[in-house]
Amino acid sequence: MKFHFLFIALVSTLAVSAQDHSHKSSRAITFPDVSGYKTLKTDLHQHTVFSDGNVWPTIRVMEALRDNLDVISLTEHLEYQPHKEDIPHPDRNRSYHLALQEAKDHDLLIIHGSEITRQAPMGHNNAVFIQDANKLLNEKAETSFAEAKDQGAFIFWNHPAWYAQSPQGTPILSDFQKERIKKGELHGIEVINTGDYAEESLALALENNLTIMGTSDIHGLIDWDYIEKGHDRPITLVFAKEKTAESLKEALFTGRTVAVFNSLLVGKKENLVPLLHACIEVEKAQYINKTSILEVTLKNVSSSDLVFENQMPYTFYSSSPVFTVPAGGTKTINIKTLDKKDGITLKLKALGAYVAPKQQPTIEWALKVED
């Protein structure tokens, strides 16, 4: 009888757990929209057991929903298939279709993609917005790139500073990449991959007008590789006119992106400055009673801690000129304006942000002083 009751209790518990199952998480990645565009949170470089990853495609969908992403792509290696004896799949589109089925009842875009895998100097490259991965599987890399272009793909160079491709850890733009750019077969470059930020890759992006990308390149679990280590996954923020595959594609080809990893934000100035401006809301700008010290409270509406340095002619009262506005939190600074003003321009350098190698942007907010 005791076993019978335990069995019923176990079944009831499992039933309740199934009903309560949710993809929501307290670790949600959040960034505000910017003027004229929706900010889409994307991870366009991931792997599953259908190449050299360790999870089923449905898990990638669940992780993305938990992280509050808008878009993912499962970019399986076309040529490298270490699990093929255990999971034979002559159709290289299989991973995409499984993810698409899992996401059908959720507001998550699944973009069809694959990874073209070669030794240096060709290296590894992701093609997203493809139509048929099988047709990209060719002996010559040049043929694969040409086919991806014919399918309308957006193609980006993966981890160009990876030591296995470049032993010195510095990306080398070979004649192969130069030819791909010339032929319109290479459109972007990862400046952030897993935990690595390569400022040389950022330089190449700016010099060759390549779209700046950040990706997790996840093979294991997001929880194990990032969350348990205190990190969010690296992502690419894409500024699209709307949340559709067509709008996303247009934005990627146009280069409206910012790569993000925790408190590091990397992008072209025209994309990064509006984002940082939108991330900070001014909750209060008021003089402390009977003083000329302006008390300003800033709210960070993003999921990244943002670090700033004072760039105004005014100094701070009882505060360091370098300060952090925590993710989802507030920070109050006291500005010594010497005499009372109706308004000032708040000028702060974003220390965790880069618009070029070693170049950090200064952001301005027009403050109206409250009575």
CATH number at 71 reads 3.20.20.140
The H helix count followed by the E strand count for the chain is 9, 22
Element (H, E) at 200: helix 199-208
Residues 306 and 263 in one domain: no
Q: How many domains does the chain contain in total? A: 2
pLDDT tens digits, 346-366: 999 999 999 999 999 999 999
3-state secondary structure 13-35: HHHHHHHHCCCCCCCCCCCCCEC
Structure confidence at residue 371 (pLDDT): 81
Q: What is the CATH number of the domain that holds 297?
A: 2.60.40
Domain boundary among 267, 293, 313: 267
Residues 295 and 177 in one domain: no
CA distance 1 to 257: 63
Q: Is residue 190 part of a domain?
A: yes
CA distance 142 to 138: 9
pLDDT tops 70 at residue 179? yes
Residues 188 and 321 in one domain: no
C-alpha closest to that of 251 among 187, 201, 298, 192: 187
pLDDT tops 50 at residue 207? yes
3-state secondary structure 166-185: CCCCCCCCCHHHHHHHHCCC
Cβ-based burial of 148 (10 A; exposed 0-12, middle 13-18, buried ≥19): buried
Residues 161 and 84 in one domain: yes
Q: How many CB atoms lie within 10 A of CB 118?
A: 15
Residues 122 and 253 in one domain: yes
Confidence of residue 163 (pLDDT cuts 50, 70, 90): confident
CA distance 99 to 319: 50
Chain centroid, CA 212 distance in Å: 10
CA distance 333 to 214: 32
The parent domain of residue 203 ranges over: 25-267
Residues 223 and 256 in one domain: yes
Q: Is residue 334 part of a domain?
A: yes
Query: Cα torsion for 94, 95, 101, 104, to the nearest 10°?
Result: -130
For residue 60, give both structure tokens.
């990638």
Q: What are phi and psi of 227, to 5 degrees?
A: -60, -45
Q: Is residue 109 part of a domain?
A: yes
Q: Is residue 115 part of a domain?
A: yes
Residues 176 and 298 in one domain: no
CA distance 94 to 96: 5
- Check if the beta carbon of residue 333 is closer than 8 Å to that of residue 296: yes
CA distance 128 to 9: 47
- Kindly state the percentage of the chain with pLDDT values over 70: 93
Residues 190 and 301 in one domain: no
Element (H, E) at 248: helix 245-254
Q: Is residue 6 part of a domain?
A: no
pLDDT tops 90 at residue 3? no
Domain boundary among 209, 232, 267: 267
Residues 181 and 53 in one domain: yes
Residues 86 and 40 in one domain: yes
pLDDT tens digits, 296-317: 999 999 999 999 999 999 999 9
Domain boundary among 267, 288, 306: 267
Residues 196 and 142 in one domain: yes
- DSSP secondary structure letter of residue 126: E
Residues 51 and 135 in one domain: yes
Q: What is the mean pLDDT of the chain?
A: 92
Structure confidence at residue 259 (pLDDT): 98
pLDDT tens digits, 20-50: 445 556 679 999 999 999 999 999 999 999 9
Mean pLDDT of 1-30: 50
Q: Is residue 117 part of a domain?
A: yes
Pairing of strands 38-43, 71-72: parallel
